[in-house]
Structure 1
Amino acid sequence: MSERVDLWNNGNLVQDIFLGEIKVPVKVLRNDSFQAWYLLQPRENGNKSSKTDDLGSLRLNICYTEDCVLPSEYYASLRNLLLKSPDVQPISASAGYILSEVCRDKYDAVLPLVRLLLHHHKLVPFVAAVAELDLKDTQEANTIFRGNSLATRCVDEMMKIVGKHYLKVTLKPVIDEICESPKPCEIDPIKLKEGDNVEINMENLRYYVDKVFREIVRSSISCPTLMCDVFYSLRHLAAKRFPNDPHVQYSAVSSFVFLRFFAVAVVSPHTFHLRPHHPDAQTSRTLTLISKAIQTLGSWGSLTKSKLSSFKETFMCEFFKTFQEEKFTESVKKFLDDVSSTESKEPSGLSEPVHLKEGEMYKRAQGRTRIGKKNFKKRWFCLTSREFTYHKQQDKEPIFTIPIKNILAVEKLDESSFNKKNMFQVLHGEKPLYIQANNCVEASEWIEALCRVTRCNQKRLNFYHPSAFLNGNWLCCKATIENTVGCARCTADVPADTQIEIDGDREAERIYSLFTINMPKLQKLEEACGSIAVYQGPRKEPDDYSNFTIEDSVATFHTLKQIIDIVEKLNESHEKYRKKRSSSAKYGSEENPIVGKVS
């Protein structure tokens, strides 16, 4: 068995260039750390290698980690301590925060911590708590969530994990168009080539930016609920920290969803699985310009004369003068409102449902199989956080009620079905409810409201029939079975809360390993807390603990004591398991596999 290492050059966003490859037997990686020089080899072509050339050499420094995941009950104490992190006061005294403090690279700590908290539905309160701590040190509203703190890294990892499908349905079609049918978009006079027309290039760039921007601001319905919950918390924490700044509640959200999510995915689509490979140099430059534009458009309130004058590149300043229209800032504001709103959720503690929308429209009698004008009746519709109802008249008892949790899809209906415009359908497990709005704007508003309030429903449909079932067949696909699967993909084809495969025990084992590796730091931090708690002031050299955040020495000391005790017990369990495996398990079995043989 061996591992293959390919070396590519993709620096400075240029086209990927293959430099060479090597194969390293796994058996040499059994040590904790392995260092060696290898001559690069040409790429294999089936069983034949390319012509051998001097491709240079590569020095590898590989760290090999083997995790031994014990049965779930062994991690109960560690898991419970970590899951209590959001409730610890102050948050800096929690096990989750201490993990990030003692790890040299926060990424090592953040990924397993986020996955574990996400798996047990504790991520949102933890992010809110560490974000509040982050905001205490933020003095200027325009620098909010711009650093690489624990809060920002947690949100970044959360968006990567839960936002994959969201990026795919929002950006992939337009990214594919840009990469597969590229148009020249260079507008920097210094980088223009002979024969380039800057006006045409600017028009091309404007077309792409408009298209990407439009796809983003109309994508709120597809935004995963977990992301919306996090954005809601960040928005309100920011408004609380800077109560006199009306824009900070928007910049707190846009700094993540635009700057750290969409803009990054645009400039590096291959790293987000939107494209199979790094694009060529010209396309990369186009994507970079689009990404810059999206960042600026997404910064709420940034399209002002004072802001335009702050652009480093004069050519970008000129380009953005074409975006100084109120419709862009209003679109951003509406999008940020949608993705950071709890309108679709019933606030806890309220006994009555939240009223969302009502109005008069026409409905077709359910179950009718033939076309007839008398089948359409004017009714009063009402949407709340619990149910969707219609009534003969306003303030009358409902004739028909659909619980929100039972709605499977909300889609437009082809006007050819009944020769009527502005129609949509609500699918709820029985006969489809066909509704005609008074105009196209009203129809869009109802569809958006119904989709938003039902986006978390776990049984949403992936496919639907865009036309009605009349005279014994579906008008769209001519299928004669009424309950046959739809012939068109739904607008939002998966629930917002897409299930994510996470092994909680695997993540707990990883965190245990990190605590074990960083035991000297844990002990040093424990000593620092003890010194502060006993003497009410530092009695050691400041360098011993000056890099640690210690808000409450007693609470932090208490958590550290628990962590160290838990790690020591897990050490004993691992040692017993190793001895048992080596003495009783047959060599080559699942419990004691063969390691280090080269195929």
Structure 2
Amino acid sequence: MSERVDLWNNGNLVQDIFLGEIKVPVKVLRNDSFQAWYLLQPRENGNKSSKTDDLGSLRLNICYTEDCVLPSEYYTSLRNLLLKSSDVQPISASAAYILSEVCRDKYDAVLPLVRLLLHHQKLVPFVAAVAELDLKDTQEANTIFRGNSLATRCVDEMMKIVGKHYLKVTLKPVIDEICESPKPCEIDPIKLKEGDNVEINMENLRYYVDKVFREIVRSSISCPTLMCDVFYSLRHLAAKRFPNDPHVQYSAVSSFVFLRFFAVAVVSPHTFHLRPHHPDAQTSRTLTLISKAIQTLGSWGSLNKTKLSSFKETFMCEFFKTFQEDTFTESVKKFLDDVSSTESKEPSGVSEPVHLKEGEMYKRAQGRTRIGKKNFKKRWFCLTSREFTYHKQQDKEPIFTIPIKNILAVEKLDESSFNKKNMFQVLHGEKPLYIQANNCVEASEWIEALCRVTRCNQKRLSFYHPSAFLNGNWLCCKATAESTEGCARCTADVPADTQIEIDGDRETERIYSLFTINRSKLQKLEEACGSIAVYQGPRKEPDDYSNFTIEDSVATFHTLQQIIDIVEKLNESHEKYQKKRSSSAKYGSEENPIVGKVS
């Protein structure tokens, strides 16, 4: 197993140039620090490359940090303190916010924090709380969520984690076309080469922009539930902050989904795993121009004559004169409505129900309390963007209809319920609808399709019963009341291929390490809170804590004391655990390796 390192020449006036690559075996990283020279190799993607001798060499200095993750119970106090952050008033006094304050690089704090909150379904309320704090300092609606605050970084990281599959199904086909069958798209007169036709290039660019834009505005049905929930919160917070601006609720969402998500993925497809390598110079330039266009098209209300004069490049201004059509702004508005609504809606630009899936499966009669073969009937099922129905036969009138907005959850059903495989359940407020697919692939496809179309339903369940209610009790938890809340957390609120594997203890350990590294800043912040509490008068000289956000010194001081106390206890636990492991583990084992060379 090895890691690949690419070396590029990044110039301000020219496109990035590939210089060579190396592969480093992972086993060399066992040392705390590793230094060595490697000969640069040509890129392994079938492209014509220089001879190995012509590429030069690269010296690597690789350092890494190893975290020792303790058993889960050691992290209970720190985990609970972090997870209740969204409930702390003000949010700046919470443990999660303080973590971002004391870390020099906010990214170090954001990544483990977002993953931990995602793992425990606490990210949406936290993002809403820090976004509201962000909006207090936003004076102009047109600058909303444009900076690198804790709120914007959390949303950025969330989109990268949960939006991978969304990007793949939306952009990868068109990005592949652009990279594999490139057309000249340069429209900057200064960069045109001899023989280039600017009119043809503009037509090529317009073709690509139209295609990418069309794929994006038609993709709302694939947008992950979590992204929709976050966008909904941001939209309403923005409307509350700027009640007299009718467009701000759209720009609050477009600043993320267009500017920070789709536009970034277009210009750097390799970083989002849409392409295996950095594109060549011409393709990279084409993607840059497309990305600029997508950013502008996604900025709700920006396509008007008064705004065109604000373009820095005259050639882009001329290009966008061809986009003065209401259909573009209306398409953006409908798309943003779809991905930030509380209820499922039709895909953008569609007035009639969209047919999504149909097929023959078996259903169990609803309300039956006993097991029996006669209770299962073959039926024709049909899913549209508005309703889920089943019929006696294809093309017959539906026997039963469930409006999409009424579906509360779609989950697998334990095989033990009816001694049948490939079963799933649709929960919709009445009796659960139990369905048996013909095979496991078909079952997964139906669950995914139903989950996608119901992803924005406001009353989605958080818990469900994995087994059926039969003979007076739930088979899974033995509860005797049919109305008892589910005993298992819902797992299918996003498609199976977007499920995230997160080790909560690993992320909590990383956060503990960050608090430990920044212990001196915790103490400075603690001193600052004490100083504010004691002396409330005006200050003539700058304070040491002027870079900290302290809205409530008492609440912040209290949280800091909790953090420091928890960190000290974890330090002791680490020392004891390491000593215990070293003394009990056999010398030479993985837990207690031999240090030094064997003579």
Tell me which interval the TM-score lies in, with the shorter structure as reference length.
0.7 to 0.9
Superposed CA deviations along residues 153-177 of structure 1, whole A, max 9, x for unmatched, are 0000000000000000000000000
Bigger mean CA deviation after superposition, 373-382 or 483-492: 483-492
* Secondary structure of the corresponding residue to residue 7 of structure 1: strand
Deviation for aligned residue 1:7: 3.4
Please give the alpha-carbon distance, in whole angstroms, between the structure 2 residues aligned to 1:270 and 1:206. 23
Tell me if the contact between 1:40 and 1:57 (Cα under 8 Å) persists in the aligned partners.
yes
Bigger mean CA deviation after superposition, 146-155 or 339-348: 339-348
Deviation for aligned residue 1:543: 3.6
Superposed CA deviations along residues 187-244 of structure 1, whole A, max 9, x for unmatched, are 1111111111111111111111000000000000000010000000000001111111
Sort the Cα spacing of 1:360 and 1:26 in 2 relative to 1 into closer, same or farther, 3 A: closer
Sort the Cα spacing of 1:179 and 1:485 in 2 relative to 1 into closer, same or farther, 3 A: farther
Deviation for aligned residue 1:542: 3.6
Deviation for aligned residue 1:313: 1.1
Deviation for aligned residue 1:536: 3.0
Please give the alpha-carbon distance, in whole angstroms, between the structure 1 residues aligned to 2:359 and 2:204. 42
Deviation for aligned residue 1:532: 1.2
Sort the Cα spacing of 1:274 and 1:36 in 2 relative to 1 into closer, same or farther, 3 A: closer
Sort the Cα spacing of 1:462 and 1:431 in 2 relative to 1 into closer, same or farther, 3 A: same
Please give the alpha-carbon distance, in whole angstroms, between the structure 1 residues aligned to 2:286 and 2:369. 53
Please give the alpha-carbon distance, in whole angstroms, between the structure 2 residues aligned to 1:470 and 1:570. 47
Tell me if the contact between 2:344 and 2:453 (Cα under 8 Å) persists in the aligned partners.
yes
Sort the Cα spacing of 1:132 and 1:33 in 2 relative to 1 into closer, same or farther, 3 A: farther
Sort the Cα spacing of 1:417 and 1:301 in 2 relative to 1 into closer, same or farther, 3 A: farther
Tell me if the contact between 1:95 and 1:559 (Cα under 8 Å) persists in the aligned partners.
yes
Please give the alpha-carbon distance, in whole angstroms, between the structure 2 residues aligned to 1:503 and 1:119. 8
Bigger mean CA deviation after superposition, 458-467 or 56-65: 458-467
Please give the alpha-carbon distance, in whole angstroms, between the structure 1 residues aligned to 2:42 and 2:348. 62
Deviation for aligned residue 1:559: 0.3
Please give the alpha-carbon distance, in whole angstroms, between the structure 2 residues aligned to 1:566 and 1:492. 35
Tell me if the contact between 1:456 and 1:497 (Cα under 8 Å) persists in the aligned partners.
no
Please give the alpha-carbon distance, in whole angstroms, between the structure 2 residues aligned to 1:421 and 1:45. 44
Sort the Cα spacing of 1:22 and 1:220 in 2 relative to 1 into closer, same or farther, 3 A: closer
* Secondary structure of the corresponding residue to residue 189 of structure 1: coil
Bigger mean CA deviation after superposition, 195-204 or 34-43: 34-43
Sort the Cα spacing of 1:581 and 1:436 in 2 relative to 1 into closer, same or farther, 3 A: closer
Sort the Cα spacing of 1:512 and 1:252 in 2 relative to 1 into closer, same or farther, 3 A: same
Bigger mean CA deviation after superposition, 442-451 or 233-242: 442-451
Please give the alpha-carbon distance, in whole angstroms, between the structure 1 residues aligned to 2:349 and 2:322. 48
Please give the alpha-carbon distance, in whole angstroms, between the structure 1 residues aligned to 2:265 and 2:448. 26
* Secondary structure of the corresponding residue to residue 265 of structure 2: helix
Q: CA RMSD in A?
A: 11.2
Deviation for aligned residue 1:309: 1.2
Sort the Cα spacing of 1:479 and 1:325 in 2 relative to 1 into closer, same or farther, 3 A: farther
Superposed CA deviations along residues 115-153 of structure 1, whole A, max 9, x for unmatched, are 000000000000000000001001100001000000000
Instruction: Determine the structure 2 residue equivalent to 1:125.
Output: 125
Deviation for aligned residue 1:401: 4.0
* Secondary structure of the corresponding residue to residue 60 of structure 1: strand
Deviation for aligned residue 1:588: 3.6
Instruction: Determine the structure 2 residue equivalent to 1:165.
Output: 165
Deviation for aligned residue 1:492: 14
Superposed CA deviations along residues 310-330 of structure 1, whole A, max 9, x for unmatched, are 111111111111110000000
Bigger mean CA deviation after superposition, 124-133 or 491-500: 491-500
Sort the Cα spacing of 1:594 and 1:39 in 2 relative to 1 into closer, same or farther, 3 A: farther
Superposed CA deviations along residues 52-103 of structure 1, whole A, max 9, x for unmatched, are 8586675655432110000000000000000000000000000000000000
Deviation for aligned residue 1:486: 31
Instruction: Determine the structure 2 residue equivalent to 1:512.
Output: 512
Deviation for aligned residue 1:535: 2.9
Bigger mean CA deviation after superposition, 214-223 or 2-11: 2-11
* Secondary structure of the corresponding residue to residue 550 of structure 2: coil
Bigger mean CA deviation after superposition, 9-18 or 352-361: 352-361
Structure 1 gaps, min length 5 = none
Sort the Cα spacing of 1:176 and 1:417 in 2 relative to 1 into closer, same or farther, 3 A: farther
Tell me if the contact between 1:224 and 1:496 (Cα under 8 Å) persists in the aligned partners.
no
Superposed CA deviations along residues 337-379 of structure 1, whole A, max 9, x for unmatched, are 0000011399999999999999999999999999999999999
* Secondary structure of the corresponding residue to residue 251 of structure 2: helix
Deviation for aligned residue 1:20: 5.7
Sort the Cα spacing of 1:220 and 1:38 in 2 relative to 1 into closer, same or farther, 3 A: closer
Sort the Cα spacing of 1:371 and 1:90 in 2 relative to 1 into closer, same or farther, 3 A: closer
Deviation for aligned residue 1:534: 2.7
Bigger mean CA deviation after superposition, 372-381 or 147-156: 372-381
Superposed CA deviations along residues 250-305 of structure 1, whole A, max 9, x for unmatched, are 00000000000000000010010000011111111111110010000000011100
Tell me if the contact between 1:16 and 1:278 (Cα under 8 Å) persists in the aligned partners.
no
Tell me if the contact between 2:17 and 2:281 (Cα under 8 Å) persists in the aligned partners.
no
Tell me if the contact between 2:217 and 2:348 (Cα under 8 Å) persists in the aligned partners.
no
Deviation for aligned residue 1:579: 1.1
Deviation for aligned residue 1:524: 0.7
Please give the alpha-carbon distance, in whole angstroms, between the structure 1 residues aligned to 2:207 and 2:421. 30
Bigger mean CA deviation after superposition, 226-235 or 52-61: 52-61
Instruction: Determine the structure 1 residue equivalent to 2:380.
Output: 380
Query: Higher relative contact order by CA 8 Å / sep ≥ 6: 1 or 2?
Result: 1
* Secondary structure of the corresponding residue to residue 117 of structure 2: helix
TM-score by length of 1: 0.74
Sort the Cα spacing of 1:21 and 1:480 in 2 relative to 1 into closer, same or farther, 3 A: farther
Deviation for aligned residue 1:8: 3.8
Sort the Cα spacing of 1:543 and 1:28 in 2 relative to 1 into closer, same or farther, 3 A: farther
Bigger mean CA deviation after superposition, 358-367 or 1-10: 358-367
Please give the alpha-carbon distance, in whole angstroms, between the structure 2 residues aligned to 1:597 and 1:111. 37
Identity of aligned residues (%): 97
* Secondary structure of the corresponding residue to residue 293 of structure 1: helix
Instruction: Determine the structure 1 residue equivalent to 2:402.
Output: 402
Tell me if the contact between 1:259 and 1:298 (Cα under 8 Å) persists in the aligned partners.
yes
**Pairs aligned (count):** 599
Tell me if the contact between 2:331 and 2:348 (Cα under 8 Å) persists in the aligned partners.
no
Instruction: Determine the structure 1 residue equivalent to 2:98.
Output: 98
Sort the Cα spacing of 1:565 and 1:55 in 2 relative to 1 into closer, same or farther, 3 A: same
* Secondary structure of the corresponding residue to residue 543 of structure 2: helix
Sort the Cα spacing of 1:172 and 1:11 in 2 relative to 1 into closer, same or farther, 3 A: farther
Tell me if the contact between 2:331 and 2:349 (Cα under 8 Å) persists in the aligned partners.
no
Bigger mean CA deviation after superposition, 30-39 or 202-211: 30-39
TM-score by length of 2: 0.74
Tell me if the contact between 1:456 and 1:495 (Cα under 8 Å) persists in the aligned partners.
no
Please give the alpha-carbon distance, in whole angstroms, between the structure 1 residues aligned to 2:8 and 2:450. 48
Please give the alpha-carbon distance, in whole angstroms, between the structure 2 residues aligned to 1:328 and 1:402. 34
Sort the Cα spacing of 1:557 and 1:487 in 2 relative to 1 into closer, same or farther, 3 A: closer
Tell me if the contact between 2:411 and 2:492 (Cα under 8 Å) persists in the aligned partners.
no
Bigger mean CA deviation after superposition, 475-484 or 326-335: 475-484
Tell me if the contact between 1:78 and 1:566 (Cα under 8 Å) persists in the aligned partners.
yes
Bigger mean CA deviation after superposition, 66-75 or 573-582: 573-582
Bigger mean CA deviation after superposition, 360-369 or 473-482: 473-482
